[in-house]
Amino acid sequence: MPPDRILVIDDLPLIPLAFQEVFRSVNPSATVDYSENIFAALSSKAYANTSFDLVITDSLQDNFSKNMQQAVSELKKRFGQPLIMIYSSSYDPLIIEQMGAVGIDAYVHKYESIDEIHKAYAELSKGEVYISGIFHTMYYQYGLGARR
C-alpha cells in the first residue's frame, strides 16, 4: 500500500510541493506536510499526535550524522514508525552500508529524474528498500564504498 501521510524535512519549502505533485500522480490520496529541519519536526507541537507513513529528509543533520541509528530511531519513535527516505545531493557510502541496520528505507539523490522518484515511491509501497540510480552506480559499479 503506498504511503499516504508524508512528512518532508528540507530547508527548501518548494521541495515538499514537488513531492506532493509527484506522489499524487501515483496516489491521489497522498498528503505532504513540511518542516524545515529535523529538530523543528521532532519538537513541533503541530505533530504531537501525528503519524506519518513516510518521512523524507534531506540529511540526518550534523548532530545526527555520526549516529544514523539515533537519528532514524528518533524519527521513527516520534512519527509512528514511518518509512525513512534520505533525499540528498551528498553521496555517503555509510548510508548504503548501514541502511538495513539503522532502518533507512530509501536513499535518493536530489537531482534524480521524476521517474526515479516514482520508482522509489513504488518500491517503498511494495516494502522494498531503494537506492537511486546515481548512488547505486557510485557504490556498486564504481566501488566508491566507505574506506576503512
* Number of other CB atoms surrounding residue 30 within 10 Å: 21
Domain positions in the chain = 5-141
Question: Measuring CA to CA, which residue among 11, 85, 62, 3 is closest to residue 41?
Answer: 11
Question: Measuring CA to CA, which residue among 50, 105, 43 is closest to residue 74?
Answer: 43
pLDDT tens string 33-48 = 999 988 899 999 999 8
- CA-based diameter of the chain, in Å? 45
Residues 122, 127, 128, 134, CA torsion sign: positive
C-alpha cell at 92: 555517503
Q: In this predicted model, which residue has the larger pLDDT, 73 or 147?
A: 73
Strand ranges for the chain from DSSP E: 5-9, 31-35, 54-57, 83-88, 106-109, 130-131
Q: Pairing mode, if any, of strands 54-57 and 31-35? A: unpaired
pLDDT tens string 53-70 = 999 998 776 555 567 888
Give the pLDDT band of residue 2 (cuts 50, 70, 90).
confident
Question: Measuring CA to CA, which residue among 36, 121, 34 is closest to residue 85?
Answer: 121
Give the pLDDT band of residue 103 (cuts 50, 70, 90).
very high
pTM for the whole structure: 0.91
pLDDT tens string 109-137 = 998 888 999 899 999 999 999 999 999 99
Give the pLDDT band of residue 147 (cuts 50, 70, 90).
low
Question: Measuring CA to CA, which residue among 107, 97, 104, 105 is closest to residue 146?
Answer: 97
CATH architecture label of 5-141: 3-Layer(aba) Sandwich (3.40)
